[in-house]
Amino acid sequence: MRLINVTNSYNRLVSQQLATTAATYVKVYSLGKTTVLDSHSAKDRELLLKNDHRHVQQAEIDFVLKELAGLDSTDGLEVLNDGPLVEITLPTPSTTAS
């Protein structure tokens, strides 16, 4: 598996995310037929995996977590898995220090 940065192909999406959400950083990656949206805000970080042809596989989720967040599992993370759409919320270090 390989993540390819395709942010430049999604200028409108990135601009819209930055303008209408609390996101301060947005990147888009391709993982074959799965698209990965990585967005950061002051409060949290969200990884969104979407595949229009099939359900997102657990191996893809694990790979994205390892490559983009340096994590080996989804333990302690908020994961919403709706088959072809997976949203993972990672708290930022400042929100975990309470």
Each residue's pLDDT tens digit in the chain (98 positions)?
899 999 999 999 999 988 998 889 999 999 999 999 999 998 889 999 999 999 999 999 999 999 999 988 777 788 899 999 999 998 876 644 44
Q: Please spell the DSSP secondary structure of the chain, one letter per residue.
A: ---EE-GGGGHHHHHHHHHHSS-SEEEEEEETTEEEEEEE-SSEEEEEEEESSSPPPHHHHHHHIIIII--S--TTSEEEE-SSEEEEEEE-HHHH--
The verdict on pTM exceeding 0.75 is yes
